[in-house]
Structure 1
């Protein structure tokens, strides 16, 4: 996920960084600069945290909802593929029986 230059931060590190933004009264940019994190990354973490707390923008999904949506989309794709295979198999057997 992400390009090879993207640093991976532990969940604990992200939680601590979000906590610093929430409690310090400083801007995301200031905290990001202090921690050596990109402001965009920290802003995304804070936004996701707000959504998970139910404080996000109207209609914004929580992390759990995003995961569920990803899972349901994958499941839907697999079921569509299964349906296509079954249609082809059915057509094949109908043709075989007509001989």
Structure 2
């Protein structure tokens, strides 16, 4: 069982609001130093409040990234039988240089 927090819920919500107000300009470490708390504790509070992991410096497009990568993977997997110059040029170059070194 987790140990009860020494900080009140009101303090935590104020700390989260302070970090959100300065997000992008100040780091967790800077805000935590002003509040005399551990930076990882502040990061955990913010992550728990959002219900998702907090990555410092992450853009707002992080939700769209997995969908874009899945679409690109599907395109590349379905393209095995099609001719693609972006795949053939490196293969031809590797074959050329392999012949040249013998």
Q: Which TM-score bucket, shorter chain as reference?
A: 0.3 to 0.5
TM-score (norm 2): 0.44
- Which structure would you say has the larger Rg? 2
TM-score (norm 1): 0.46
